[in-house]
Structure 1
Amino acid sequence: MPLEIERKYLVKPELLQLPNEGKKLIQGYVWSDPDKSLRIRIAGNKALLTIKTGTNPLRRSEFEYEIPMKDANELLVLCESKIEKIRYLIKYENLLWEVDVFEGENKGLIVAEVELSSEEQEINLPNWINTEVTKDPKYLNVELIKHPFSKW
């Protein structure tokens, strides 16, 4: 079973130097329960269907499949609402950080995630990292759709 082990952090925007180019992501959830979800994502010219299971935000099962763009667009119509964000990739000390700058109802929120090989993996944090929010469910994308950052 494929596992996703990642930590999530808020950033210090004043210290963050974003790369010149990022990738626009649009995603929605066809369904979600506390322990599983089915996500549709358009990332640039690629469309993905993702199933995530588990209640531990640090370590979850993740199955991801590329699907035709036409199918993704049709499935996104089924979603009650969507998240839009720009994702930037930043390498720091041999790790790839994904920095998401949210748009729409989540505008103002910037989150950085890093995938790890184990839950115990030690990492040195870049100076632009602020607070860890890995275990705070309100920062999960599936929750940001229901309770957008702009309404906190």
Structure 2
Amino acid sequence: MAQEIERKFLVKAGWQPQGQGEKIAQGYLSTVPERTVRVRIKGEKGFLTIKGKNKGISRAEFEYEIPLKEAEAILELAEQPVLTKTRYLERHGSDIWEIDVFAGENAGLVVAEIELTAEDSDFFRPAWLGEEVSGDVRYYNANLIKSPYSLWKK
């Protein structure tokens, strides 16, 4: 079974992208805690992803590439609004960080994620890494469509 082990952090002000980002649009067909079903368009490719319930920072994850036209059609069926962001990849040593800069109603939110091979894996912490939010459900992408960052009390 495929498993995702991921830690998520806020990104401190002042971080600047080191490379070219990739636009992502994603929508959810199911956002119940037991499972999420997501369709994503990343660049010119479509993906369908099923994720199980979180157990700590781990959960089952199954992702399949699907034809772009099908991803576009499925996105039309998704809960609204569709989540939009630009993803930047940064390598630090052997670690690859995914930094998501959200747009639309989630503008102003910048989150960094790292996928690990084990929950207790060591990793390099770049200077721009802020507070860890791995267990905070507000930062789950599936929840950002229901409760966008712009509506949070600061």
- Whether TM exceeds 0.5 here: the answer is yes
Alignment partners' CA distance in 2, 1:74 and 1:147: 24
Shift of 1:32: 1.8
Contact residue 90 and residue 97 of structure 1 kept, 8 A: yes
AA partner of residue 2 (structure 2): P
Q: 1:109: which partner in 2?
A: 109
Contact persistence 1:8–1:113 (CA under 8 A): yes
Give the partner amino acid of 1:37: T
Equivalent position of 1:17 in the other structure: 16
Residues 57 and 103 (structure 1), Cα distance of their counterparts in 2 relative to 1, 3 Å cut: farther
Are 2:25 and 2:42, in contact at CA under 8 Å, matched by a contact in 1? yes
Secondary structure at 2:27 match in 1 = strand
In structure 2, distance between residues paired with 1:117 and 1:64: 17
- Counterpart-to-counterpart distance in 2, 1:8 and 1:72: 26
Moved over 4 A (4+): none
Deviation at 1:123, TM superposition (A): 1.7
Kindly report the root-mean-square deviation, in angstroms, between the aligned alpha carbons of the 2 structures.
1.0
Asked if the contact 1:36–1:51 (Cα under 8 Å) also holds between the matched residues in 2, the reply is yes
1:79 aligns with 2:81: no
Secondary structure of 2:145's counterpart equals helix
- DSSP 3-state at the match of 1:34: coil
Alignment pair present for 1:124 and 2:124:
yes
TM norm structure 2: 0.95
| Maintained 8 Å contact 2:50/2:61 | yes
Hey, what does 1:60 align to over in structure 2?
A: 59
**Deviation (angstroms), 1:57:** 5.5
| CA displacement 1:26-55 (0-9 Å, x = unmatched) | 000011211201100000011000000023
Sequence identity percentage: 47
| Alpha-carbon distance between aligned partners in 2 of 1:120 and 1:33, rounded to the nearest angstrom | 27
Deviation at 1:4, TM superposition (A): 0.5
Aligned residue in 1 for 2:6: 6
Equivalences, count: 151
Shifted more, 17-26 versus 110-119: the winner is 17-26
Q: Structure 1: any 5+ residue segments left out of the alignment?
A: none
Shift of 1:20: 3.4
- TM superposition shift of 1:64: 0.2
Judge conservation of contact 1:57–1:137 (CA < 8 Å) in 2: no
Aligned to 1:142: 142
For residues 108-144 of structure 1, what are the alpha-carbon distances to aligned partners after superposition, in whole Å with 9 as ceiling and x for unaligned?
A: 0000000001001012210000100000000000000
Counterpart secondary structure, 1:30: strand
Equivalent residue letter for 1:119:
E
Identify unmatched segments of 5+ residues in structure 2: none
Q: Counterpart in 1 of 2:48?
A: 49
Q: Which residue of 1 aligns with 2:28?
A: 29
